[in-house]
Amino acid sequence: GHFECPPYNQQTIRSAYHVRNIEVFKLKQLKRPIDIFMSHDWPRSIYHYGNKKQLLKMKSFFRQEVESNTLGSPAASELLQHLKPTYWFSAHLHVKFAAFMQHQTNSKEELPKATKFLALDKCLPHRDFLQIIDIEHDPSAGDSLEYDAEWIAVLKATNSLVNVTQSSWNMPEKNGLHAKWDYSATEEAIKLVLEELNHNLKIPCNFTLTAACYDPSKPQKHMEPVHIINPQTTEFCAQFGLTDINDRIQQAKEEGAVRGDYEEEEEEEEMDSTGSAEEPSEYNTDNSGLSSINPDEIMLDEEGGDEDLSTCSVDPSPDHPPDFSASFSDIRIMPDSMAVSSDDTMDSTNEELEKSGVSKQVEEKSLNERPLKRIGGNENGNSGIKKIKRRNQAIYAAEDEDKTE
């Protein structure tokens, strides 16, 4: 469930940005065509539908996860195959990559759909970070942002599934255990939403400041973040009879329920904080494969550890024909002069270590090379257990292999 709120601790600061199975479930209820889908993480497996060889030439440390098909978000991959949007844009991995995915049809009568995927590089000099794509616009539609009646109908239908605890729970399935498993919007439900809005879908301009603007003359370096109820969200939920999750979390926090549940389970959560794929959920929410860290880059701050990557060519390989459809036929190809600079993987490593955590495969492989993780501590995050760095790694590796056998 959604249970995190400021002030964050060492566990909630990591779990706050993870995808919830309820969000995937709600999005899968959409039936109408989708033009554009945006996600931070790449959908898992999308690299198989583009110039994979060139991708691995630019980002060689992706190879292990690409070959084991663990790079990217499994939740995003599930949504890509289910929703089949015309375009899918992602970020996160700091490299330009295009792909073309032809979806399978369920019947001979169904017209085949395809998705054009595009990710771009970081916004830095000499990097491919910008691309302009023209999307056809309905001439009869207005220029202002509008609500989507189908999505609001889905939110209303799934409102009873909202959970503000940190417990894992399964979404309804057609498995004989749930009286209802289809929460997609009926035409009647959509009609009711339109009637509620008097057929005026325009989103109101009701922005309200909830935090003071930054004043350089009054620096506040160590301000502790506080949980703020957003007035736009409150108004939206009240208008459509939805649960305001932030308000519910605040109520639970005041009652002491959320904090009490956390402190009882903190040690267990800390020991299993890698996003295990074995959670009892229909949707695999393991995001541990998203960081794609090059293990060699960890030592970049030491002498001799910085490897010059400027010689890595990004020219299309002769074994890879240039007519590959994934490069967007109407879009420019990455220039031949493009080179991967040494700060490419370094920037990726520093940011992604903080945001996403080390990938499960790399973490297991380098367990003997890193200090043991904290499994308990006080409120300030100080551990009562010393951090140990193993030496003679080859000996320990051999010992671990024997135990595994």
Same domain, residue pair 248 and 150: yes
Same domain, residue pair 85 and 157: no
Same domain, residue pair 50 and 96: yes
Strands 114-119 and 97-102: antiparallel
The arithmetic mean of pLDDT across residues 370-380, rounded, is 42
Same domain, residue pair 92 and 161: no
Count of domains for the chain:
2
Other Cβ atoms within 10 Å of 275 Cβ, number: 20
Domain annotation covers residue 309: no
Give pLDDT, residue 211.
83
| pLDDT interval class at 92 (50, 70, 90) | very high
Domain annotation covers residue 219: yes
Is 51 a residue whose pLDDT tops 90?
Answer: yes
Could you tell me how far CA 361 lies from the centroid of its own chain? 18
- What SS3 state is found at 267? helix
Domain annotation covers residue 314: no
Highest mean pLDDT (candidates 89-93, 247-251, 377-381, 391-395): 89-93
Give pLDDT, residue 277.
37
Same domain, residue pair 245 and 161: yes
Of residues 150 and 381, more confidently modeled: 150
Give pLDDT, residue 43.
97
Is 144 a residue whose pLDDT tops 70?
Answer: yes
Interval 203-242: pLDDT, tens: 999 999 988 888 888 887 777 888 889 999 999 999 999 9
| pLDDT interval class at 65 (50, 70, 90) | very high
- Out of 258, 280, 296, a domain closes at 258
Q: Which of 182-196, 200-214, 236-250, 300-314 has the lowest mean pLDDT?
A: 300-314
Show the domain range for 104: 36-134
Is 318 a residue whose pLDDT tops 90?
Answer: no
Same domain, residue pair 120 and 81: yes
Return d(Cα 301, Cα 118) in angstroms, integer. 32
Same domain, residue pair 105 and 73: yes
Give pLDDT, residue 26.
97
Torsion of Cα atoms, 329 then 92 then 16 then 230, to 10°: -60
- Out of 235, 258, 281, a domain closes at 258
Same domain, residue pair 242 and 163: yes
Paired with 87 in beta bridges are 36, 116
In sequence order, which residues have a C-beta less than 8 Å from that of residue 320 and are 6 or more positions away? 51, 53, 54
Tokens found for residue 268:
């267990």
Could you tell me how far CA 14 lies from the centroid of its own chain? 12
Same domain, residue pair 152 and 178: yes
Contact indicator for 316, 51 with CB cutoff of 8 Å: yes
Same domain, residue pair 151 and 94: no
User: Residue 198 carries which DSSP code?
Assistant: T
Return d(Cα 245, Cα 348) in angstroms, integer. 33
Interval 100-133: pLDDT, tens: 999 998 888 888 999 999 999 999 999 999 999 9
Give pLDDT, residue 293.
54
Same domain, residue pair 237 and 189: yes
The arithmetic mean of pLDDT across residues 173-199, rounded, is 92
| pLDDT interval class at 175 (50, 70, 90) | confident
Domain annotation covers residue 50: yes
Give pLDDT, residue 313.
33
Give pLDDT, residue 370.
43
What pTM does this model have?
0.64
Query: Which residue reads 């595994």 in tokens?
Result: 404
Domain annotation covers residue 270: no
Domain annotation covers residue 330: no
Domain annotation covers residue 368: no
Is 23 a residue whose pLDDT tops 50?
Answer: yes
Tokens found for residue 352:
């992604």
Interval 325-347: pLDDT, tens: 333 433 333 333 323 333 333 44
* Average pLDDT score, the chain: 74
| pLDDT interval class at 169 (50, 70, 90) | confident
The arithmetic mean of pLDDT across residues 18-22, rounded, is 91
Return d(Cα 273, Cα 12) in angstroms, integer. 10
- Out of 258, 290, 315, a domain closes at 258
Domain annotation covers residue 44: yes
| pLDDT interval class at 170 (50, 70, 90) | confident
Return d(Cα 135, Cα 34) in angstroms, integer. 12
Give pLDDT, residue 329.
36
DSSP one-letter string for 342-354: HHHHHHHHHHHHH
Same domain, residue pair 59 and 113: yes
φ, ψ of residue 115 in degrees (nearest 5): -120, 130
Highest mean pLDDT (candidates 44-53, 304-313, 319-328, 384-393): 44-53
Give pLDDT, residue 253.
84
Other Cβ atoms within 10 Å of 46 Cβ, number: 25
Q: What angle do CA 282, 287, 289 make, to 5 degrees?
A: 125
